Structure 1
Amino acid sequence: MHRKSDSDVTSVEASSPARPLYYVQSPSNHEPDKMSYGSSPFGSPGHQYHCSPIHHSRESSTSRFSASLKTTARNAGYWKKLQRSGELVEEDEDEEYDEEDEREKKEIKRFYVVCFVLSFVVLFSVFSLILWAASTSYPPEVYVKRLVFEKLNVQSGMDESGVATDMLTLNSTIKILYRNTGTFFGVDVKVAPVRLSYYQRNLATGPEVKFHQNRKTQRTVITSIESHQLPLYGGVPGLISRNGRIDSISVPLNLTIGIRSRAYVLGKLVKPKFYRTIRCQVTIHGSKLGKPVNLTNACVHHN
């Protein structure tokens, strides 16, 4: 058989077109050093070759795996979002329930407070009414003991406008016994007005007297009733002295005494009041000046 010479081989290799490289992978071994290269004049791996299909398969599988991981992560995130939204909804519902419970508790507390206040007001009102009714059964006792005319003088004179008339000067003293019959309260007392009058004409007045009287106690009140240079204008003819002597004077007068008592049973909340007006008939005698006039049975009490 005719053997080709080296020059022939060279010429054939130079003239023949370059064939593409290919490799075969063993099914049982994936190592790169076990790969067999295609026919090459030199069998050298130094020549250039394309990327292997296995590399593409690995990239595709990796991409599919990463895509599946991304999908799984996306699904997990979605479920987490759903779970979080569900938890938020549950939290909102729990908050709504808690708010409703708190609102109901507040309404119940408000109801109890209102009931307590109303009950307290009703009970306190009833208690105050009972105390007031009990205190009204203990009115004060007032006794006008005596009246003393100490000085009486009627003389001619002139009033402030220069009109000539008789002028009256009168000094007298009255003694009053006041008794507080209350067993559980004290009273503030005011004695006023105190006056002597001839029908509707006032002849003498007394000052206002105030004091406090403790429970189950009594006191004697002595006050003056007087007038000084009071013009009469002829309104009291009985006071005109005969022959300049006052011994012959005898004039019936009215003595009026007003007494107001205020009890403090429960501080300033329960304050029963007692009013007493005393009217006495008394006659002034010029011949009995300085002598006490007994008025124990000569007075009428009006509440």
Structure 2
Amino acid sequence: MMLAKSDSDETSPIYYVQSPTRDSNDRSTQATPVFHSPMESPSHPFYGRHSRASSSSRVSGSLTSSSTTTGRKGRGKRNDKRWPECNVIEEEGEYIELPRRFYQFFIGVLGLLAIICLFCIIIWGSSRPYKPEVTVKSLTVHNFYLGQGSDFTGVPTKVLTTNCSLKIKVYNPATFFGIHVSSVPVNLMYLEIVVATGQLKKYYQSRKSHCNVDVNLGGVKIPLYGAGASLEVSDNDRVPMTLVFDVWSHGNVVGKLVKSRHTRHVFCAFAIDRDNSKPIKFKKDSCTYG
């Protein structure tokens, strides 16, 4: 006896549950398909062709899109699962890390230079008060002769020949560095005319020390022009003279990196006794030291 099928039986969906296969350990677990109509059921005659066509179209579409993307990016490294690898993050990390290290090194160098400069400024400032002391002790006149002569153009005039020796005392008060001492030409002048000149030889003087220096002054047949007449009619015993020169000193405080430089300007006014060959002693108020 055959039972009549109701409309609900013909239109009701049929469900299938697919169990995992043996390859489930190697591949990801497949989801259980859910069919919502008889057309999607495997038992329906149109299911096989429809599902194969749709799946093949999806696979071919995904392959086409992936091949297009791969073609655009170019061939790269692939891992074990044939996925392309990308090194963009690593390259960006290296790009950021290198400038950061460079800036850190640059800042470190600047900090070190700032510390060195600060140290040099402190040492230089501490060396400034140690200005050498210069004292003119005596002047000995060996020769002082006034006569008739001519200048280098042949003009007749009074000429003066002088030969003297000057004694200078230099004291270096610095406690932690020596000094190199020199001078500009030492000039012996009558009015505005240089009648004798000499040069202090450069030498080195150790810290906290005294040194006596001799300077020879000489002038041969120096033309006096109009000043010669005034010298001839002046007092025979005393002739007013002036002594002018500068003493230079520099000390290497920290090698050649930090140097201490000082200048002493010396000006002395005195009179030469042409009939007396004894050394002329200079008092403290006879000279000024700038």
In the superposition, the TM-score normalised over structure 1's length comes to 0.66
2:96 to 76, 93, 104: 104
Moved over 4 A (4+): 81-86
- For 2:220 and 2:97, locate their aligned partners in 1 and report how far apart those are by CA, in whole Å: 77
Q: State the match for 2:141 in structure 1.
A: 149
1:256 to 244, 251, 255: 244
Asked if the contact 1:239/1:249 (under 8 Å) is kept, the reply is no
Write the letter of the residue equivalent to 2:250.
R
Write the letter of the residue equivalent to 1:87.
R
Asked if the contact 1:239/1:250 (under 8 Å) is kept, the reply is no
Return 5+ residue gaps in structure 1 as ranges. Answer: 1-70
Tell me if 1:266 matches 2:276.
Answer: no
1:42-121 equivalences in 2 (<5 Å): 87=78, 91-92=85-86, 95-121=87-113
Write the letter of the residue equivalent to 1:187.
I
CA shift for structure 1 position 238: 4.7
- For 1:238 and 1:275, locate their aligned partners in 2 and report how far apart those are by CA, in whole Å: 35
CA shift for structure 1 position 241: 6.6
Q: State the match for 1:295 in structure 2.
A: 282
- The structure whose Rg is larger is 1
Q: State the match for 1:277 in structure 2.
A: 265
- Structure 1 residues 96 and 156: alpha-carbon distance in aligned structure 2, compared to 1, 3 A threshold: same
- For 1:193 and 1:162, locate their aligned partners in 2 and report how far apart those are by CA, in whole Å: 27
Q: State the match for 1:65 in structure 2.
A: none
Q: State the match for 2:33 in structure 1.
A: none
Asked if the contact 1:192/1:209 (under 8 Å) is kept, the reply is no
In the superposition, the TM-score normalised over structure 2's length comes to 0.68
- Structure 1 residues 85 and 154: alpha-carbon distance in aligned structure 2, compared to 1, 3 A threshold: closer
Q: State the match for 1:211 in structure 2.
A: 203
- Structure 1 residues 103 and 156: alpha-carbon distance in aligned structure 2, compared to 1, 3 A threshold: same
Tell me if 1:234 matches 2:226.
Answer: yes
What's the secondary structure of 2:254's corresponding residue? coil
What's the secondary structure of 1:272's corresponding residue? strand
- Structure 1 residues 86 and 221: alpha-carbon distance in aligned structure 2, compared to 1, 3 A threshold: closer
- Structure 1 residues 131 and 236: alpha-carbon distance in aligned structure 2, compared to 1, 3 A threshold: farther
Asked if the contact 1:154/1:241 (under 8 Å) is kept, the reply is no
Using the aligned pairs only, state the percent identity. Answer: 31
- Structure 1 residues 226 and 241: alpha-carbon distance in aligned structure 2, compared to 1, 3 A threshold: farther
What's the secondary structure of 1:119's corresponding residue? helix
Asked if the contact 1:157/1:166 (under 8 Å) is kept, the reply is yes
What's the secondary structure of 1:287's corresponding residue? coil
Asked if the contact 2:244/2:266 (under 8 Å) is kept, the reply is yes
1:124 to 96, 99, 116: 116
Return 5+ residue gaps in structure 2 as ranges. Answer: 1-55
Q: State the match for 1:139 in structure 2.
A: 131
Q: Deviations over 1:229-276 (max 9, x none)?
A: 11111314453278xxxx924211110121111111122221221011
Q: CA RMSD in A?
A: 2.9
- For 2:193 and 2:240, locate their aligned partners in 1 and report how far apart those are by CA, in whole Å: 12
Write the letter of the residue equivalent to 2:261.
K
Asked if the contact 1:174/1:223 (under 8 Å) is kept, the reply is yes
- For 1:110 and 1:261, locate their aligned partners in 2 and report how far apart those are by CA, in whole Å: 44
Asked if the contact 2:193/2:224 (under 8 Å) is kept, the reply is no
Q: State the match for 1:221 in structure 2.
A: 213
CA shift for structure 1 position 173: 0.6
Q: Deviations over 1:28-50 (max 9, x none)?
A: xxxxxxxxxxxxxxxxxxxxxxx
CA shift for structure 1 position 296: 3.5
Asked if the contact 1:205/1:225 (under 8 Å) is kept, the reply is yes
Q: How many pairs align? A: 221
